[in-house]
Structure 1
Amino acid sequence: MARFQKYLLFALLTTAFFSACEEEKKEVIVDTGFVLTQDSMTFYLEHQFDLWNSILCQDELRYMDTLRSYYRARNFKPLWWDAITGDSTSWSNLQLTFAHSVSHGMDYRFYHIPLVEYYKSEIDSFETSKESYRRLAELELIISNNMLRMYEDIANGRTKPRDVYGYTYMLPANNRKKLGFEDFLDEKEKNHFIDNIHHGDTTYTELRSVLTYYLKKKIEARSSAIDFSEYPKIEVGDTIPLISEVIAKLKEKNLPDKEIQDIADTTIYTKELAVQIKRLQEKYSLTPDGIMGYKTYKLINATPNDNIDQVKANLERQRWFKKPKEGAFVYINLPVYEVDLHWEDSTKNMRVCIGKNLPDNYDNMVREYTDSGWLHKLPKNMETPQIASKISYMVINPTWTIPYSIIRREMWWKLVRDPAYLSRTGYKVYRGKEEVNGDTIQWGKINRNRIPYQIVQNPGPKNSLGTVKYIFSNPFSIYLHDTPSKKAFKRTQRAVSHGCVRLQDPILFGEFLMQNSKEYDSDDFRVMMGYPPIDPERLEEYDPLDSTALIQKLDTTTLVRLDKPMDLYLDYRTVYYDEDWKLHFCYDIYDQNKLILRAMEKP
């Protein structure tokens, strides 16, 4: 409503402006006896641009210079004359062009279609041709401006990732396409022109197909949400009145193989039904155990609108950044908790653990910190950021310098209760460069917001970074590393770290990186880590007695640089295709889809 009122005010200013113009240039105005002609329209259209410098219009009419140049080249001949003066076919084609943006994840309301339709309906009600020409000039430029906005939105993204995420987004922007606005405006087959923008981007094309599918499902959907509030969880064998509603929901979702269609209505949670629940859980990256709980309930109750929103957000991500198609690189899709190692001719992957998601009460925690001023109450955002960087070196047998934020929030109370905790678990304490005995420090008398000590964990089997860490440039002090705690890799959702990425198989990861080292190869790295070489013929090279029992891993902290840094991408996609082009939806662990969708709604 506010935007609509803004345009009405704009219309009043336009009327006042042209009234002044007509007093100075009466000889230019030709009363046509209220027969509207394109020739008489040019005066009004030319002077319409003078209003674009007003503060009122700067946000909305962003293509002033482009359109001024375009219309000047065509002597201000209107482009949409047929569509807005009564030709129903031309008007329908114009509406269809804007409506086509929906298939790219846009909302046609972004482009002020209700306002355009309102303006068009007014033209026939004016009592003089002058009023009609004024409105036609406004309508002409509003349509052209929004046509270019739609074109640029679809080509390069409606939003800018830094406006959505701030400094935590560091992926490179796609090469912004040279749009050729003039060519687009002149093009008669605009929908085809728009669709060709992403020609060759298979991911984008397939996501559009998925969006079309769910838009159709939205029309067909009928059932309402199921109330699971009385059932914290449902397991096989349980007799629950809601089971028949669950079956109806799954039938509506049309799961793979359509086996669900053959399941009869019942109140018992059967093994056959559990198979379908497991498929649903697996599709959305939940633990496929067949047990229905809070997250599975959300999936069951998900509407086509939920899927539509997910695909829209990921189409926008694809417009921002496209995963490389060739070359050697490391790619991590954070909500999938996996890293893909891309060789020139093959791909391997492994599980990873990523940073913890923000707690539900994060905003309240920030307010509490603001009110108190105590650093230990400052909540830390541990979500792993989206980054493009290069892995430049690795550290074998690393030490770990504990961040002060972790000391304040997690270690301080342990030290107060058990001062010997540090020596028992392999930590050293330093004040400046001097090592001190941490067991003798009275931690309870130290202000945990101003701890004067640095705590360092020695290399070894208990070190939190494991046996190796991989370093890449970034402003967040995060890296990829091994871990002595392997249990988390068995979980489906693995957002458990302080922001760094933990690797399930750090040895395979290091072997992959060795292709960019001139001094060492993958077998050299394996031996450094205490493993036998892959090539058995090289065993004697490392051990003259030809016995793997004598292979000794490095026992000192060692830095190994890569001659050519390896490209690394930490991305975030909740709808994606795997290497076999199988479609996956995954749980939005950081709840980031809504950030993109909200940003897209803004003018």
Structure 2
Amino acid sequence: MTPTSRMTIVPALILGSLIGAAPPAHAENLFKMLFGGGIQQREARERRAEEQRPQAAPAPAPVARISAPSYRTYKADRLVPVSFKALLEAPRTVSFEPSLDGASFAEALAGLDGYELAAEKPVARAIEAHYLAHDDFIWVSGTSVNTRAVEAMRVLGEAGSYGLDPADYAVRPPSPGFDMTDMPARHRDLIRFEMALSARVLRYVRDAFGGRIDPNRISGYYDFPEKPLDLEAVLATLSRTRDVRPYLESRHPQNERYQALRAELEVLRASRENDIVVDARLFLKPGGSSPELPKLLQLFARETDDAFRAEHGAVLAANAATEAYGPELVAVVKAAQAFKGLSADGIVGPRTVAAFAGVSKADRIAKVEIALEQLRWHPSDLGSPRVFINQPAYTATYNEGGEDRLSMRVVVGKVSNQTSFFFDEIEQIDYNPYWGVPQSILVNEMLPRLRQDPGYLDRSGYEITDAKGRRISSSSINWYQYGGKVPYSVRQTPSEANALGELKILFPNKHAIYMHDTPSKSLFQRDVRAFSHGCVRLSDPRAMAAAVLGKPVEHVADKIRQGHSTEKVTRKIPVYVAYFTAWPDQSGKVEYFDDVYDRDSRLLKALEATAEVRAPTS
């Protein structure tokens, strides 16, 4: 055996004796001590490789877009039968001797047996309660209808002058002549007339006071509080007063705009259909010519006012027959466009034509009737001071003491992000405001970009906070895990790039709509100004803020220079975020506007649904 062989065998023998003598666990540890270095390193390398191997990313949460309110098929309340059971069963002392002087209420009650009368549920309940508590007629005296009933029926018959349908309130009175020997039949006719007229008078009062439909059923874009009306008190008042006409007419809105719309309706119905028809596709630039131009110039003279005619009448008269759009007419066209609230660019296009000739008599009547209905949803007294935003006109007006002290152009919501229709009260002004990003914009517009560029908000001047108010970096969030709702608050800090500009005017509401400044000034020069996400952008926000505060514009400018701050509005100032395609100016002249959101047609369908429910009633 060579020395080398002995050297190899000895450690092996030693190892074998040690392994054989040691418990299994100790043997394993010893094995690792002698030979395990390489194995351990290999295992560690494998573990590291496994940890570093790319893991399959969890599937991103699908983006569930937050949808805007939808429009619904309007469902009118069904009519219910007026129940006379309690009235008929109430204990009374009744004379069974025939009376020639007239019917007592108690004597006539038997005529209600088997009588079917349908009415709106509040109307039916008011009739049941009133006559159960008052054993007397309102509309009958002796054996005939009384003067109170005659006056009431006259008012109901004139409902069309308010844009209402007289057929909804029609009641046939008993014949003046009757068989004196058949008094029970006369009593029956009188008591049934009494109930029918009360039902139709109450319907009229409800319609005049709050409108024929519930606008909130049309869409979530409508948000009007219920106008409480005590119909039992109405009957009680009518049973006492002889001034029936003034009382019934007082149930309508008592403001100058409602009266102006009613006057416009009367004029329209008495007028002829449009006698001047201009091609709706007309497009004419200075230097061009068209046989439609003389007709349009004639409309400029007729559809403006005395001030316009005084300034431009001579030019209009001198060019009355011309088809050439020469330089002398450019100023006239621009003035006419400005008169209608259009961009005064001097180019005659479809919007200029529509402003002067595009609305037929029938369309105008429909717009006025719709406007009257919509005003009935509002307070009777609109208030002073007040701010009135008319979305189809793209204008905001500050009115005080019955005068429009300030009016400006506005930008309203896109068709996909419509501005709601409601009223509220202004509370405060925020200077150099933060912009709290709504969930709809965060999910629908920002989330797709944040998935590709998580640091986008950090670089763009936004602050992100979690539910506990802790600031978080945008880049640290895994935006892929969120779809329909993001559990963070995002706001843009004050800056020149801030979406709200220098200030915002708040009237807190569930729609998160307010008036504000904007860095996108060029949009105010467009005729159609539906570009926002729903809020109302003001062309002159400083002037509006100063108006509602009752302070000079310099005060507002000084507050802006001082940085971010808030100022409370100490006066009661209602704000109407309204939608009227026909609306009077303060002089009473009604202007007509395009139905940018197609809301008029939906309201007409709601009115038709209501008319269908009422049609079968007696």
TM-score bracket relative to the smaller structure: 0.5 to 0.7
Residue in structure 2 matching 1:506, options 541, 558, 567: 541
Distance (Å, rounded) in 2 between the aligned partners of 1:301 and 1:343:
33
Counterpart residue number, 2:169: 111
Deviation at 1:488, TM superposition (A): 1.7
Deviation at 1:522, TM superposition (A): 6.6
Q: Is 1:47 aligned to residue 54 of structure 2?
A: no
Letter in 1 for 2:262: R
Counterpart residue number, 1:78: 140
The 3 A distance-change label for structure 1 pair 450 and 491 is same
Give the structure-2-normalised TM-score: 0.64
Q: Is 1:291 aligned to residue 348 of structure 2?
A: yes
Counterpart residue number, 2:423: 387
Deviation at 1:339, TM superposition (A): 3.4
Residue in structure 2 matching 1:564, options 542, 554, 570: 570
Counterpart residue number, 2:55: none
Q: Is 1:302 aligned to residue 359 of structure 2?
A: yes
Are the aligned partners of 2:260 and 2:590 in contact in 1 as well (CA < 8 Å)? no
Q: Is 1:587 aligned to residue 594 of structure 2?
A: yes
Q: Is 1:314 aligned to residue 321 of structure 2?
A: no
Distance (Å, rounded) in 2 between the aligned partners of 1:199 and 1:402:
38
Counterpart residue number, 1:145: 199
Counterpart residue number, 2:406: 349
Distance (Å, rounded) in 2 between the aligned partners of 1:346 and 1:265:
36
Counterpart residue number, 1:407: 442
Letter in 2 for 1:209: A
Residue in structure 2 matching 1:64, options 124, 127, 152: 127
Counterpart residue number, 1:435: 472
Are the aligned partners of 2:260 and 2:589 in contact in 1 as well (CA < 8 Å)? no
Are the aligned partners of 2:515 and 2:536 in contact in 1 as well (CA < 8 Å)? yes
Indicate the SS of the match to 1:311. helix
Letter in 2 for 1:100: E
Distance (Å, rounded) in 2 between the aligned partners of 1:302 and 1:598:
20
Uncovered stretches (5+) of structure 1, i.e. residues with no partner: 1-5, 360-380, 531-552
Indicate the SS of the match to 1:564. coil
* 1:331-370 to 2 correspondences below 5 Å: 331-341=388-398, 348-351=405-408, 353-359=410-416
Residue in structure 2 matching 1:463, options 476, 498, 511: 498
Residue in structure 1 matching 2:507, options 463, 469, 472: 472
* 1:517-536 to 2 correspondences below 5 Å: 525-530=556-561
Deviation at 1:590, TM superposition (A): 3.7
Deviation at 1:406, TM superposition (A): 1.0
* 1:26-41 to 2 correspondences below 5 Å: 28=96, 39=102
Deviation at 1:64, TM superposition (A): 1.4
* 1:150-299 to 2 correspondences below 5 Å: 150-160=204-214, 162=216, 168-170=222-224, 180-181=234-235, 184=238, 190-191=244-245, 194-195=248-249, 201-217=255-271, 220-221=272-273, 228=280, 231=281, 233=283, 250=299, 256=305, 268=323, 285-287=341-343, 289=346, 291-293=348-350, 296-297=353-354
Letter in 1 for 2:493: N
The 3 A distance-change label for structure 1 pair 492 and 179 is farther
Distance (Å, rounded) in 1 between the aligned partners of 2:559 and 2:544:
14
Give the structure-1-normalised TM-score: 0.65
Cα RMSD over matched residues? 5.4
Distance (Å, rounded) in 1 between the aligned partners of 2:205 and 2:380:
19
Distance (Å, rounded) in 2 between the aligned partners of 1:177 and 1:299:
44
The 3 A distance-change label for structure 1 pair 580 and 77 is closer
Deviation at 1:46, TM superposition (A): 1.6
The 3 A distance-change label for structure 1 pair 595 and 136 is farther
Distance (Å, rounded) in 1 between the aligned partners of 2:541 and 2:464:
28
Query: How much identity, in percent, do the aligned residues show?
Result: 20
Are the aligned partners of 2:253 and 2:379 in contact in 1 as well (CA < 8 Å)? no
Distance (Å, rounded) in 2 between the aligned partners of 1:178 and 1:10:
17
Letter in 1 for 2:501: G
Distance (Å, rounded) in 2 between the aligned partners of 1:596 and 1:51:
37
* Structure of higher CA gyration radius: 2
Distance (Å, rounded) in 1 between the aligned partners of 2:160 and 2:510:
38
Letter in 2 for 1:584: E
The 3 A distance-change label for structure 1 pair 71 and 225 is farther
Counterpart residue number, 2:530: 495
Are the aligned partners of 1:390 and 1:566 in contact in 2 as well (CA < 8 Å)? yes
Deviation at 1:63, TM superposition (A): 4.4
Indicate the SS of the match to 2:427. strand
Counterpart residue number, 1:537: none
Counterpart residue number, 1:376: none
Letter in 2 for 1:490: Q
Aligned residues: 515
The 3 A distance-change label for structure 1 pair 55 and 600 is closer
The 3 A distance-change label for structure 1 pair 52 and 406 is farther
Deviation at 1:388, TM superposition (A): 1.2
Deviation at 1:387, TM superposition (A): 2.5
